[in-house]
Structure 1
Amino acid sequence: MDLQQLTALENIRQAKARYCRFIDLKQWDDFKNLFTPTVHLTFHGVEGELLYQFTDLQSFIDQTATTLSGSQTIHQVHNSEIQLTSETTARAIWSMEDWIIYPKDVKGLFKTLHGFGHYYETLELREGCWLTTTLSLKRTILTIT
Structure 2
Amino acid sequence: MTVESIEQDVRRLVAIEDIRQLKARYFRCVDFRLWDEFADLFTDDLIVDFAESTSSPRGKQEFLASVARHFETGYSVHHGHVPEIDILDETTATAIWPMYDRVESPAGSGYVSHEGWGHYTETYRRCDDGRWRICRSRLSRIERHELPKQETGVTS
Tell me the TM-score normalized by structure 1.
0.89
Query: SS at 2:50's partner residue?
Result: strand
Whole-Å separation in 2 of the counterparts to 1:67 and 1:88: 32
Query: What aligned pairs does 1:76-91 form with structure 2 within 5 A after superposition?
Result: 76-91=79-94
> Aligned-pair distance for 1:63?
1.2
Query: What aligned pairs does 1:9-48 form with structure 2 within 5 A after superposition?
Result: 9-45=16-52
Note the aligned Cα RMSD (angstroms): 1.8
More strand by share: 1
More helix by share: 2
> Aligned-pair distance for 1:109?
6.0
Detail structure 1 runs of 4+ shifted over 6 Å in the superposition: none
Tell me the TM-score normalized by structure 2.
0.83
Q: Which residue of 1 aligns with 2:5?
A: none
Structure with higher Rg: it is 2
Residues 79-123 of structure 1 show CA distances to partners (whole Å, capped at 9, x for unaligned) of 10000100111010000011001124x24363x210101000000
Whole-Å separation in 1 of the counterparts to 2:115 and 2:81: 16
Q: Which runs of 5+ in 1 are unaligned?
A: none
Q: Which runs of 5+ in 2 are unaligned?
A: 1-7, 148-156
Count of residues in correspondence between the two structures: 139
